Amino acid sequence: MSAPLPALSAVAPLLDRLPVAVWAVDRDLRFVFRAGGAFRHLSIRGRENAGTLWEFFDTKDPEHPAIRAYRKIMEEGPTCLRLGRAGEVISHGAPWHAEDGSVAGVVGAALDASDQMQAEQRFATFMRFLPAMAYALDEDLRLTWVNPALAQRLGRTGEQVVGRRAAELEGWPDSASHDAENLEVLRTGRPMVVRAGAVDDSGVAHHTYGYRFPLPAPGNEGVGGLLLDVTEQVIARRQGRAAEARLRAIVDHAGVAIAVCSLDGVLTEGNMALGALVGTTPSRLRGQHVDKLLRPEVQGQPSLLGELLRGGSARRVRRALLRQKDGGSLPVTVVGLQVRDGGREPLEAVLLVQPAPCAPVQPDASAPRDREDRRLLGMVAEGASDAAIAKAFGMAESTVRARLLSLKRRYGATNRASLVARAYQRGLLVL
């Protein structure tokens, strides 16, 4: 019965330096060899020197799992066991033979896998609470593992889906071309972004975002996937874009001139009413500094923007002069507002610009001759064409152009925009 002993004895000094335990027992389960730095650690306290497996496991029951396993090894061949209360000891056993070829006993080795099990348990806990859906596929694209979030989405247990292909599972939250994309990941060994949308049986659209990535393993390549349901975020983003578009339409067509500027004073947005007051298009206003567009009415007075950002108030009102395209200046009233995002620090400023009210226009030679001129100026301010004005007044387009030319000359305006600005300035039009 000494067939394995010379070889084992030769490496015993080395084994004693390694975190393993190696032993041999005869057919009666008596220890004939033991070595390894982990033997004492893996032993049941107080039984490190037990003479038999019966004593080591403190049992007389022939059906004890360890006793039964060793009998099975001698009858059927090598096997792998997980011992300990939580299976934290990985043990390998194999029969060893006497010189006549008969089975003389079992030689075994064990490794403490407590650290590995702790890591596995932490990973399992992490995956159990992870809101994202995760899975692993083998090289045949069959599921080898899914986390609870994905199993719940599919309405099945993990055991019910392992071994099946994604195409066989109703409600799989992935793109329709998932098989082709997974094969591409296997072929290239590179990860891939997943963006998918699907409609469930109740007609609700779901949106998924995630990654596929290779899971290399010797002799069995695989693919892993991480999918996150972003339906709520997609809906919120769409609603945000719709709200932004509505706000943009309101601002663009508001009767009040509106300017949005950054904290350093650069104009980032301006609406059509502001363009009309200045005499240019809103797009040409972007990038200008607000201090060049609006200067204090009184020389030496601090800028409205600086006062707004330095002060504790989120709202300031100031009289100012609005520079116009033709070089003139239009007295205006400016309401400055701080834009804050839930905190105390301002993000940007919004300026509401309105022509300053003038004294009522007294009837004289330069005043509009009748209500038609006010009505005509109102239609010009709204952006009506010559044809629309002519139809509204029941006159020819040439007559409209002639009356507009007369009004421009009367109020010193060079174009329609400056004519509208002069009309607001003189109180002929009211915002």
DSSP letter for each residue of 239-296 = HHHHHHHHHHHHHHT-SSEEEEE-TTSBEEEE-HHHHHHHTS-HHHHTT-BHHHHEEE
What does the pLDDT look like over 139-158, one tens digit per residue?
889 999 899 888 888 888 88
| CA dist., res. 40 & res. 21, Å (int) | 8
R_g of the chain, CA atoms, integer Å: 43
Label residue 21 by pLDDT band (50, 70, 90). confident
Taking residues 276-303, report their average pLDDT: 82
How many CB atoms lie under 10 A from the CB of residue 5?
Answer: 15
How many CB atoms lie under 10 A from the CB of residue 151?
Answer: 18
CB 174 within 8 A of CB 229: no
Superfamily of segment(s) 130-233: PAS domain (3.30.450.20)
Q: Residue 368's pLDDT is what?
A: 47
CATH of 371-425, one of 1.10.1370.30, 2.60.40.1080, 2.40.50.140, 1.10.10.10: 1.10.10.10
Superfamily of segment(s) 253-355: PAS domain (3.30.450.20)
Place of tokens 């064409």: 385
Architecture label for domain 5-116:
2-Layer Sandwich (3.30)
Least confident window among 47-51, 118-122, 383-387: 47-51
> Dihedral of the CA atoms 117, 120, 125, 126 (nearest 10)?
150
Q: Residue 84's pLDDT is what?
A: 59
Q: What are the C-alpha distances in Å from 415 to residues 254, 298, 326, 381?
A: 21, 28, 10, 12
Max Cα separation, the chain? 136
CB 99 within 8 A of CB 2: no
Q: b/e per residue, 223-261, with b = 16+ CB within 10 A?
A: bbbbbbbbeeebeeeeeeeeeeeeeeeebeeeeebbbbb
| CA dist., res. 280 & res. 259, Å (int) | 14
Taking residues 94-100, report their average pLDDT: 87
Q: Residue 30's pLDDT is what?
A: 92
Q: Tell which phi-psi region holds residue 270, choosing left (phi > 0), alpha (psi between -120 and 50) or beta.
A: beta
Domains 5-116 and 371-425 equal at CATH topology level = no
- Residue-range domain boundaries for the chain: 5-116, 130-233, 253-355, 371-425
Instruction: Supply the pTM of this predicted model.
Output: 0.48
Taking residues 2-31, report their average pLDDT: 78
Nearest partner of 340 among 318, 320, 312, judged by Cα: 312
Taking residues 172-189, report their average pLDDT: 84
Q: How confident is the prediction for the chain on average, in pLDDT? A: 81
Taking residues 42-70, report their average pLDDT: 78
